[in-house]
């Protein structure tokens, strides 16, 4: 249950702590005292939207905190344990929200900062708030369908969840097929072009170093005549021509002169030894020149072939990359895209098979869900009719109109709640009910029925007495009292009849301090409570007649 609500720098609240010490607590006060602000703060605490406009004027941030008492077996604590938040599964259990004017928002569970989504997973299961906004929500078909499913219990909710999962698998597969088809359109348009590119590169039979080798060959072939001419001249210089001495002959003569001089001076032997290898070097040079002359090709045809080949390679490089390696890498990418196209076609067949399985499975579950909802709707009708009798709507008849609709995550159904307020009248949608009091009682009837199934330990009612009076308000008070036997009830009310039924009565007051307006709260004593009930009954808290009436209401509670 909610033990304490602490609010700071929010709207006209400077700082306020409210302790809830009973199963049934009411909050009353003059118009403008801040009752609606308390409800709005509670809604933000439970994950509602925090607007910077609600920060108290002159402050840069607002803070809201709730302290809860939960048994360890509570579903919220078990959820935290399952999600590896063991350090947060404590009692007391504290939730807090802090938001600033610059729209920064901090959510904490037992002091630990969490994401807003994680926070909501926990907070929404603690308190169920029912205010004026519930009237608008109740008009929505999706909300009515959720109420019907909640009444159906675990079996129906589990089937709904299973149907939703099957629907998501079906839609996920549909999305994959659609994406594949869109991608295929682009790939199919490029298939021939991609195939042309790959064939063009493959037919060229490129080698990684070929471009450099061809460039070297072309340089050699382009200057082959000059190379041959200069090699011949070099050979003649080393080994002589017909009319000139050769370097080889002259070296031989020099060695002959030096050969016998060593016996006169050893240093000359070293000179001879250093010069003698030169003859071998000349022999090796001659051999290499002859071999090169034999190997070199003076062929205009081969030069043309090499130039054409190099031109082809450079053309491919201009189209597909700067180097041969780039062209080959491009070829590999093209091959992958072509393979991907083939894979997509195969994968699409698999997805189409999955789509059939998921869609057939979905409709099978959805039809079963429809059958159970139809039966549940009949039971809900009988239960609400019975509750409405206790709420002074003896002639009212409630109906749940379940119709098939387009497939969705909640099945193939829509639900519309209809009511005939009086005998013989037509059934009308709730949105067309003129009386706000009737709508309030219908909501209360639903909450009374769903209370036993509701995982929330605390239910907050904001002006559930709107539009009702007389014996009807007594019936509403009875229902709230009945709910409080199993769940904590916190009720903002203008009705003295309802306020008298509570175990704890809190009065909200608007005060001025230091030139600023602020909201305060007071726990009423028995005497103060009689005075507040008298004010609520007729405006004069000191009227003996009204105080007598107030005592009568309190005595009825204690009877």
SS3 string, 89-106, reads CCCCEEEEEEEECCCCEE
Q: How confident is the model at residue 132 (pLDDT cuts 50, 70, 90)?
A: low
pLDDT band at 190 (very low <50, low <70, confident <90, very high): confident
**Cα dihedral across residues 47, 51, 52, 56: positive or negative:** negative
- The residue with tokens 């003996």 is 544
Cis before 92? omega within 30: yes
CA gap 85, 99 in Å, rounded: 24
Residue 559 has pLDDT above 60, yes or no: no
Residue ranges and CATH numbers for the domains of the chain are 1-126+503-517 (3.40.50.300), 524-559 (no CATH)
Contact 159, 458 (CB under 8 A): no
- Contacts of 458 by beta carbon, 8 Å cutoff, 6+ apart: 1, 2, 126, 127, 128, 487, 488, 489, 490
- Tokens 């050769």, residue? 246
Give per-residue pLDDT as tens, 393-446. Answer: 889 999 999 999 999 999 999 999 999 988 888 999 887 875 677 888 888 888
State the pairing for strand pair 397-408/411-420.
Answer: antiparallel
- Taking the C-alpha atoms of residue 111 and residue 104, their distance in angstroms, rounded to an integer, is 17
Q: What token pair was written down for 398?
A: 């409630």
* Residue carrying structure tokens 């959720």: 146
Q: What is the 3-state secondary structure (H, E, C) of 466-494?
A: CCCCHHHHHHHHHHHHHHHCCCEEEEECC
How far is CA 118 from its chain centroid? Answer: 12
The span from the CA of 449 to the CA of 153, in Å, is 12
270-284, 350-364, 443-457: segment of lowest average pLDDT: 443-457
CA 472-477-483 angle, 5° bins: 130
Neighbour-count burial for 94-118, b at 16+ CB within 10 Å, e otherwise: bbbbbbbeeeeebbbbbeeebeeeb
Per-residue pLDDT at 95 exceeds 90: yes
Question: Hey, is 301 helix, strand or coil?
Answer: helix
Give the pairing type, strands 127-130 and 458-462: parallel
Tell me the percentage of the chain whose pLDDT exceeds 70. Answer: 91
Element (H, E) at 67: strand 61-68
Encoding tokens for residue 435?
């009386």
* pLDDT confidence band for 17 (50 / 70 / 90): very high
- Tally of CB atoms within 10 A around 219: 10
- List CB contacts of 138: < 8 A, sequence separation 6 or more: 144, 417, 430, 439, 442, 443
Q: What pLDDT does 443 receive?
A: 83
Residue written as tokens 């999962």? Answer: 165
Q: Token pair for residue 504?
A: 């704890």
How far is it, in rounded angstroms, from Cα 158 to Cα 545? 56
Convert the pLDDT of each residue in 347-375 to its tens digit: 788 889 999 999 999 999 999 999 999 99
Residues with Cβ within 8 Å of 536's Cβ and at least 6 positions away in sequence, in order, are: 28, 494, 495, 496, 499
Greatest mean pLDDT among 13-17, 114-118, 273-277 lies in 13-17
Who's near 286: CB < 8 A, 6+ residues apart? 235, 238, 239
Contact between residue 228 and residue 293 where contact means Cβ atoms under 8 Å apart = yes
Task: Please state, in angstroms and rounded to a whole number, the distance separating the CA atoms of residues 487 and 450.
Answer: 12
Consecutive H or E run containing 516: strand 516-523
Bridge partners of 55, per DSSP, are 10
The CA–CA distances, whole Å, from 368 to 148, 158, 328 equal 15, 12, 59
For the whole model, what pTM was predicted?
Answer: 0.62
Pairing of strands 93-100, 13-19: unpaired
Residue 167 has pLDDT above 60, yes or no: yes
Least Cα distance to 127 among 39, 6, 63 occurs for 39
Q: pLDDT of 513-542, one tens digit each? A: 878 888 999 999 999 999 999 999 987 888
- Averaged pLDDT score across all residues of the chain: 85
What is the Cα–Cα distance from 121 to 374, expressed in whole angstroms? 30
Report d(CA 315, CA 539) in Å as an integer. Answer: 98
* CA distances for 188 relative to 108, 195, 510, 517, angstroms: 53, 11, 73, 72
Sequence-distant (6+) residues with CB within 8 A of 141 are 414, 415, 416
Element (H, E) at 458: strand 458-462
- Residue 215: the pLDDT is 80
Specify burial of residue 406 (Cβ count, 10 A radius: 0-12, 13-18, 19+). Answer: exposed
- By residue count, the chain amounts to 559
């Amino acid at each position: 249950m909610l033990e304490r609500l602490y609010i700071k720098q929010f709207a006209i609240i400077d700082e306020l702590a409210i302790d809830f010490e009973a199963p049934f607590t009411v909050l009353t006060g003059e118009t403008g005292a801040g009752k609606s602000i308390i409800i709005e703060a509670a809604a933000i605490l439970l994950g509602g939207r925090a607007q910077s406009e609600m920060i108290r004027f002159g402050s840069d941030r607002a803070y809201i905190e709730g302290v809860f008492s939960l048994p360890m077996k509570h579903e919220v604590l078990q959820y935290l344990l399952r999600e590896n938040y063991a350090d947060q599964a404590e009692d007391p259990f504290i939730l807090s929200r802090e938001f600033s004017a610059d729209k920064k928002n901090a959510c904490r569970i037992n002091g630990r900062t969490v994401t807003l989504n994680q926070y909501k997973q926990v907070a929404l299961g603690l308190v169920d708030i029912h205010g004026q906004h519930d009237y608008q929500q109740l008009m929505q078909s999706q909300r009515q369908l959720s109420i019907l499913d909640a009444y159906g219990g675990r079996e129906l909710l589990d089937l709904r969840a299973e149907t939703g999962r099957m629907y998501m698998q079906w839609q996920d597969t549909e999305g994959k097929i659609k994406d594949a088809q869109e991608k295929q359109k682009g790939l199919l348009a490029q298939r021939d072009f991609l195939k042309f590119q790959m064939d063009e590169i493959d037919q060229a039979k490129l080698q990684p170093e070929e471009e450099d080798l061809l460039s070297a060959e072309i340089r050699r072939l382009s200057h082959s005549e000059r190379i041959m001419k200069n090699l011949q001249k070099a050979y003649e210089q080393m080994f002589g021509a017909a009319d000139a001495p050769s370097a080889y002959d002259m070296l031989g003569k020099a060695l002959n002169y030096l050969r016998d001089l060593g016996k006169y001076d050893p240093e000359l032997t070293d000179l001879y030894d250093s010069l003698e290898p030169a003859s071998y070097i000349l022999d090796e040079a001659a051999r290499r020149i002859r071999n090169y002359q034999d190997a070199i090709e003076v062929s205009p045809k081969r030069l043309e072939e090499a130039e054409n080949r190099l031109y082809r390679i450079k053309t491919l490089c201009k189209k597909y990359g700067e180097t041969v390696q780039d062209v080959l890498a491009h070829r590999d990418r093209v091959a992958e895209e072509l393979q991907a196209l083939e894979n997509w076609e195969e994968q699409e067949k698999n997805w189409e098979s999955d789509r059939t399985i998921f869609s057939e499975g979905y409709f099978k579950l959805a039809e079963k869900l429809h059958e159970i909802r139809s039966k549940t709707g009949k039971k809900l009708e009988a239960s609400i009719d019975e509750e409405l009798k206790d709420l002074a709507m003896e002639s009212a008849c409630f109906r749940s109109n379940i119709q098939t609709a387009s497939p969705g995550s909640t099945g193939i159904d829509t639900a519309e709640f209809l009511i005939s307020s009086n005998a013989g009248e037509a059934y009308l949608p709730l949105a067309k009910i003129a009386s706000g009091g009737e709508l309030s009682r219908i909501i209360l009837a639903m909450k009374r029925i769903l209370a036993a199934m509701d995982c929330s330990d605390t239910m907050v009612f904001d002006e559930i007495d709107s539009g009702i009076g007389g014996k009807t308000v007594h019936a509403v008070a009875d229902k709230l009292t009945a709910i409080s036997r199993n769940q904590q009830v916190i009720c903002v009310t203008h009705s003295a009849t309802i306020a008298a039924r509570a175990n704890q009565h809190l009065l909200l007051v608007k005060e001025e301090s230091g030139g600023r307006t602020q909201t305060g709260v007071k726990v009423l004593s028995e005497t103060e409570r009689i005075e507040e009930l008298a004010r609520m009954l007729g405006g004069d808290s000191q009227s003996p007649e009204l105080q007598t009436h107030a005592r009568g209401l309190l005595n009825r509670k204690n009877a």
